[in-house]
Amino acid sequence: MRGDKMSEDLTHFDRDGRAQMVDVGEKQDTARRAIATGRINMRRETGERILAGQIGKGDVLQVARLAGIMAAKKTSDLIPLCHPLPLNAINIDLKISSDFQSVEIEAECKTSGKTGVEMEALTAVTVAALTIYDMAKAIDREMSIEGIRLLHKSGGKSGTFEARR
């Protein structure tokens, strides 16, 4: 990538194509918000047992919510070029589908800072889904995690992003 157009567009690379942490020191603090979503698919029986609290490891949805919150707070420890952020709020919503064959996960993260919280929201969704898998894998190893994506981002120089639903 030695100084080509792509390295100029991708802020995590310097002019020589080397990975770098972006310098946000001169940026203004702004209110920032991101919402991410994802889903874990499962057998109907698995969803029914999660809803009924019949998974031996505990309340699956509450543990997944806490895991997602903890993961959002640790994102910069997991993603090498992410800045550590003071998070003002992390909200995670988990809903079992009406057919009991999936759990929809949505995470919202907020901060006032120099860089966005998209990675924190995406990490929260991912870890919440992995936690559900971990807690229910003894009865359903065929669960699948899919559709993890950013739905909304606001704040900062680049403005607002809304994903097509």
Q: Which residues are catalytic?
A: 134
Buried b (16+ CB within 10 A) or exposed e, 17-36: eeeeeeeeeeeeeeebbbbb
Instruction: Return the SS3 of 151.
Output: strand
- On whether the CB atoms of residues 116 and 155 are closer than 8 A, the answer is yes
CA 126 to chain centre: 5
- On whether the CB atoms of residues 110 and 124 are closer than 8 A, the answer is no
For 122, list phi and psi in degrees, rounded to 5.
Answer: -65, -40
- Which residues are bridge partners to 103 per DSSP? 40, 96
Kindly state the DSSP code that residue 27 receives in the 8-state scheme.
S
